[in-house]
Amino acid sequence: MKNLSFFLLIIIFAFFFSCNEKEKLPTNDRTEIDYSLIDSIENELLKAYSDSNFEALNNLFTGFCKQQKPNDTSLMESQLEKDIYKIFQLVFNPNKLEFLSDSLFKSTHYKNVDFYIIQSKIKYYLEDGIKKEIWYDSMPAIWNFKPILELKNNRKYFYLTPEIDSAMNRFLDFQDYPIGEKNLMDPALPRMETRKRFEFINKFVKIKYGHWGGYWHLETHPEIEVIQFTQKRNYAYVSYRIQYTFWVAEVYKKNGKWIIMKIKPNGAE
């Protein structure tokens, strides 16, 4: 009888411990921004542009690819973080925009691009069974997000670090035609010096001016905006952007592998 009581006590303790064990969350530390590096990158962009030197621009982007290293998921302690990386690798496919946008965009959109620019931040949200409103800005994020990607034709890519992001924005600037100025249904469009610099950059990457003006979409799309996990963590809703449209992919984890179940539109600018 004593042995039975002791055995039951162990079971109760184990159940209590497992229920109260905290889920291991991804690291979300921000790396310190190197402001001198921002200046250096901007100066290299300006020099290449003023000299109309496309080789220098190509070398700059190639240098980013060589210097940056992807994060090794095998070293991550958080299963959730590993799943975020796997889901991104599943959904991020610029060669399948037709599939990811229900045929709204052609899969050839990035066909002749030399470099992909990969987002270096990704947000996520964990459902806990309690209905509540949460703002996008308050969602947790992985700030040093650097997935390894297996791309068609060994396409080169680099991560949009805060330094590269700031330098490219400063170089491009924001001279534009306000939304609807040229034609009623037109988004904001770059003009004058900003347009010239945009065309120079676009020789090697494909970027997009912001619909409302005053900002750029530098990341190669689809840009994954947030991954929302259900309470059991085996199902997730992936919200992403393709140009000025928004989509949701429903993904499911089966036998350790994530699968896209459904894709649906979620609005447009």
153 in Cβ contact with 200 (< 8 Å): no
pLDDT digits (tens, 9 = 90+) for 228-267: 999 999 999 999 999 999 999 999 999 999 999 999 999 9
Number of C-beta neighbours around residue 189 at 10 A: 17
Please, what is the end-to-end C-alpha distance for the chain in angstroms?
69
**Is 1 within a domain?**
no
Gap between the Cα atoms of 80 and 126, Å rounded? 10
Q: What angle do CA 103, 107, 111 make, to 5 degrees?
A: 160
Gap between the Cα atoms of 98 and 94, Å rounded? 9
Residue with tokens 């002791």: 6
Write the single-letter amino acid at 265. P
Q: Which helix (H) or strand (E) holds 237?
A: strand 235-242
Dihedral of CA 206/159/221/41: which sign?
A: negative
141-142 and 189-190 beta bridge pairing? unpaired
Q: Kindly state the average pLDDT of the residues 189-217.
A: 97
In this prediction, residue 16 has a pLDDT band, given cuts at 50, 70 and 90, of: very low
Task: Say what the alpha-carbon torsion angle 222, 227, 230, 233 is, to the nearest 10 degrees.
Answer: 100
Q: Which helix (H) or strand (E) holds 171?
A: helix 162-172
pLDDT digits (tens, 9 = 90+) for 75-114: 999 999 999 999 999 999 999 999 999 888 988 899 889 9
**Is 11 within a domain?**
no
**Is 4 within a domain?**
no
Number of separate domains in the chain: 1
Gap between the Cα atoms of 202 and 114, Å rounded? 10
Q: Kindly state the average pLDDT of the residues 27-43.
A: 92
Taking the whole predicted model, whether its pTM rises above 0.85 is answered as yes
Before 222, cis peptide (omega within 30)?
Answer: yes
**Is 9 within a domain?**
no
In this prediction, residue 189 has a pLDDT band, given cuts at 50, 70 and 90, of: very high
Range of the domain at 97: 22-268
The encoded tokens of residue 27 equal 């690291």
In this prediction, residue 21 has a pLDDT band, given cuts at 50, 70 and 90, of: low
Q: Is 102 left (phi over 0), alpha (psi -120 to 50) or beta?
A: left
Dihedral of CA 35/84/147/225: which sign?
A: negative
Distance of CA 2 to the CA centre of its chain: 57
